[in-house]
Structure 1
């Protein structure tokens, strides 16, 4: 699907650390590489603490530095190296060439300004239009994201809107300047299931109509199944598996991916209790010497505790970082 398409975003060997009060550093993301292609939705999946949100903030150049620090890597947006840009120049990229939808819109929308002011400001910053024209674009965007009474909502403050409505406003704001890349960081987590489904459908509709690509950050494999073309599984700051969404769901290779899929509820079984993954994601201050998932893995071997597994690439575009597979032998283990 992606071979003939252009990469909108290229992340290569990205490593991120945080400075600690004792003078040490915590390495939270390590040598992460991936691409987002034109028109696709790439999901980045993992538990809380795996490094997903930090990665997205680094891409947007919104990582607080210090204490955050990008220690290595390259981030290219349509061929432009974002890490070499001055912060002033980045302001012309954010909201224009790429936009971000955050998990909780109340932290992104300014509570003291009306919706109209916030939309109009973003539009006028990147488009050569006057206030009247920008207002018309803002109103049109609110209607496009399914706000029925847009003429009323545009004059209201964020606190007057429901969570689902605020998230729609955030999507309208993110898409107002037709960005080529949309980063969505857990955009439906704070919403109830019905509204969540509506927002997911809306995001995919907007992607199609505006010709955008999406990097979708989530911990919910159900959301991934509904939205993604490809998926990357992140654990303790590393990508441990990636590939087409159908392959990941039908033939998961990494034990962590398998465990995540087993925690999904299914109408096909009568199980009253869902399986859980024992233990927690290790702290960046105390990552295991070998495979970072080994302490929680039922298939762990001696080598897993001693040596970091290398990436094994499958012919169908699937990658796994696991000692259960040899360099030239990629048969599945007995799950």
Structure 2
């Protein structure tokens, strides 16, 4: 894996807050004070269960958040030092698909059913590059070949419904990478695919990232995908980033109980089990968040303090942070006077 040390910052998200206005007049904070950076050439995984706020974070970066009912109430999103939240829609349309591209979980919702595959790739190219139709078609064929589609001449004339899920996802990758984006956001891009196709798609994404020197923000709940692709991991729970560290450290020394619980849900070849462990309970809805630590109702190490006081993010090492009362700033286990964790 590549290391981000001394690399140039590509994306910087600062204190991002997103809320949704509900029909009953209430407000739900779905992203709460989220800050992180992505360096050029780096692959960062944003992980967590459904409802954690991962996709809303990515849609906010792309400025595709439905507003209303969504609203970015605070924060900055800097791409190469430029604040995307200050851009008008027309300016953002020049950035989307060019400097930043996104691959969604289900390509059938992203591909237009009434246009051929060729037309859709060519449109993406001609929107941002001054090329002729003929040149755009040749570039489209080359892109399809690069994503592993051998019969590109035939596929370019077909419609999305005529392709398999794996083929559609390859087309989406071709479109996303057509203008050499600096940042690729991949939101659960392999969830709907079988294991064999998933492995092929991940390998393809890593290959194209290396060739085009792109950075990737990989959004997933699958820790095995994280182990295979990421340089660094951010763990999200109930709208907050609760842990961040290099991928190896996350797997070998997880600090937050939620991270440890996620890792336990991974199947292992070394341990014989008839049933995979699960995390008791569910992610609390954004309109009914508990007091104190949001993971407290599900945490096996919960203390009285956890249910009363919201934990701050502690930088326990220069490259490892955790939002948890169990740890001091020095990274050692704390206790509440009643129950020791040392």
Q: Which bracket does the TM-score occupy, shorter chain normalised? A: over 0.9
Aligned residues: 335
Structure 1 gap ranges (5+): none
Q: How has the CA–CA distance of structure 1 residues 334 and 248 changed in structure 2, closer, same or farther, with 3 Å as cutoff?
A: farther
User: In structure 2, the residue corresponding to 1:271 is in which secondary structure?
Assistant: coil
Distance 1:174 1:294 in 2: 39
Distance 2:195 2:330 in 1: 43
Aligned residue number for residue 93 of structure 1: 95
Aligned residue number for residue 268 of structure 1: 270
Q: CA deviation at 1:131?
A: 0.5
1:178-327 equivalences in 2 (<5 Å): 178-327=180-329
Judge conservation of contact 2:105–2:188 (CA < 8 Å) in 1. Answer: yes
Aligned residue number for residue 146 of structure 1: 148
Distance 1:219 1:152 in 2: 35
Judge conservation of contact 2:326–2:333 (CA < 8 Å) in 1. Answer: no
Aligned residue number for residue 167 of structure 1: 169
User: In structure 2, the residue corresponding to 1:155 is in which secondary structure?
Assistant: coil
Q: CA deviation at 1:330?
A: 2.9
Judge conservation of contact 2:48–2:235 (CA < 8 Å) in 1. Answer: yes
Distance 1:213 1:322 in 2: 29
Offset from partner CA, 1:12-49 (integer Å, 9 cap, x none): 00000001112221101000000111101000000000
Offset from partner CA, 1:239-281 (integer Å, 9 cap, x none): 0000100000000000000000001000101111111100000
Q: CA deviation at 1:182?
A: 0.1
Q: Which residue among 38, 54, 57 is the counterpart of 2:56?
A: 54
Q: CA deviation at 1:316?
A: 4.3
Instruction: Output the TM-score relative to the length of structure 1.
Output: 0.98
Q: Does 1:77 align with 2:59?
A: no
Q: CA deviation at 1:331?
A: 4.7
Q: CA deviation at 1:326?
A: 1.8
Alignment root-mean-square deviation, CA:
1.2
Q: CA deviation at 1:285?
A: 1.1
Distance 2:8 2:332 in 1: 29
Offset from partner CA, 1:260-309 (integer Å, 9 cap, x none): 00010001011111111000000111101100000000100000000001
217-226 or 310-319, which moves further after superposition? 310-319
Distance 1:163 1:20 in 2: 34
Instruction: Output the TM-score relative to the length of structure 2.
Output: 0.96
Structure 2 gap ranges (5+): 335-339
